[in-house]
C-alpha cells in the first residue's frame, strides 16, 4: 500500500499537468488517484496470487518427485532382498530335497555339521563328535584332498572327489560331490554322495 501511494504521488507530480507541480487538488485528481491505486492494488494482488500458486505447484512437484524416489528406492530394496531370499530358499530347498544323500555341511570356516549318513558310512562308534574328531574317520590318504576342496572359496562350484573311511576294512571308495554356495554372505559347502551311487 505504501508503494502504491508513493507511486501515485510521483506519477501525479511528473506525468500530470502541470508537470513538476502538484497544483490544486481537484475532483479529477482524486478520481485519478483512486483509479490508479485500485488498478495497482488489483494487479499486485493478482501477481501475488500467481506467485503463490506457482510456488505451491513447484512445492507439490518437488514433494511428488521425492516421494517417487523414495518409492523407487524401497522397491529396489524389496526386489534385492526378495532376490536374495529366493536364492537362499533355492539352496535350502535343494538341500532339503536331497537330504538323504548329504554327508556333512560346512558353513563358514570350520563349522562342520555331520549328518547321520556320514556316521553310518564311517562306522563311527560315537553318535556325537566334537572339534576335529570327524577327521579321524576319514582315510589318511583322502584327508588332504578333502580339506583342500573345503578350502576353495569360489561360490557356485562343484567338485567330485573319491572318499574312503578309516574304519571301513573294505576301504570302499565312495564318489563324493563337494558343492559350494554363497549363503547369507558366507560360504556353504555341501558334501554329498553322487546321485548314481545313492541310487545303487
pTM, full prediction: 0.53
Nearest to 162 by CA among 120, 126, 136, 193: 193
Element (H, E) at 105: strand 102-107
Give every CB contact of residue 179 below 8 A, 6+ residues apart in sequence.
Answer: 157, 158, 189, 190, 191, 192
Nearest to 108 by CA among 191, 181, 193: 181
- pLDDT tens digits along 75-128: 888 887 777 767 766 766 666 667 788 999 888 877 788 889 999 999 988 888
- Percent of the chain at pLDDT > 90 equals 30
Cβ(107)–Cβ(183) below 8 Å: yes
Average pLDDT for 141-160: 85
- pLDDT tens digits along 36-88: 778 778 888 888 899 999 999 999 999 999 999 998 898 888 887 777 767 76
54 C-beta neighbours (distance < 10 Å), count:
10
Torsion, Cα 82 84 90 92, to 10 degrees, reads -110
Nearest to 136 by CA among 166, 114, 112: 166
Cβ(19)–Cβ(36) below 8 Å: no
pLDDT at position 198 is 47
Three-state SS at 156: coil
- What span, in angstroms and rounded, lies between the C-alpha atoms of 118 and 91? 21
Instruction: List strand residue ranges (DSSP E) for 43-99, in order.
Output: none
- What span, in angstroms and rounded, lies between the C-alpha atoms of 36 and 162? 103
Amino acid at each position: 500500500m505504501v508503494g502504491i501511494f508513493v507511486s501515485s504521488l510521483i506519477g501525479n507530480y511528473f506525468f500530470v499537468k502541470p508537470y513538476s507541480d502538484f497544483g490544486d487538488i481537484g475532483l479529477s485528481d482524486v478520481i485519478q488517484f483512486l483509479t490508479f491505486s485500485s488498478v495497482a492494488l488489483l494487479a499486485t494482488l493478482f501477481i501475488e496470487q500467481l506467485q503463490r500458486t506457482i510456488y505451491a505447484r513447484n512445492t507439490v512437484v518437488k514433494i511428488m518427485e521425492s516421494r517417487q524416489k523414495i518409492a523407487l528406492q524401497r522397491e529396489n530394496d524389496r526386489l534385492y532382498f526378495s532376490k536374495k531370499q529366493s536364492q537362499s530358499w533355492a539352496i535350502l530347498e535343494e538341500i532339503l530335497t536331497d537330504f538323504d544323500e548329504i554327508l556333512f555341511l560346512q558353513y563358514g570356516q570350520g563349522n562342520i555339521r555331520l549328518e547321520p549318513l556320514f556316521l553310518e558310512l564311517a562306522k563311527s562308534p560315537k553318535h556325537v563328535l566334537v572339534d576335529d574328531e570327524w577327521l579321524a574317520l576319514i582315510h589318511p590318504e583322502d584327508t588332504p584332498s578333502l580339506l583342500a576342496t573345503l578350502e576353495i572359496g569360489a561360490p557356485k562350484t562343484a567338485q567330485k572327489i573319491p572318499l574312503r573311511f578309516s574304519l571301513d576294512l573294505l576301504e570302499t571308495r565312495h564318489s563324493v560331490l563337494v558343492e559350494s554356495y554363497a549363503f547369507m554372505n558366507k560360504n556353504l559347502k555341501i558334501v554329498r554322495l553322487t546321485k548314481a551311487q545313492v541310487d545303487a
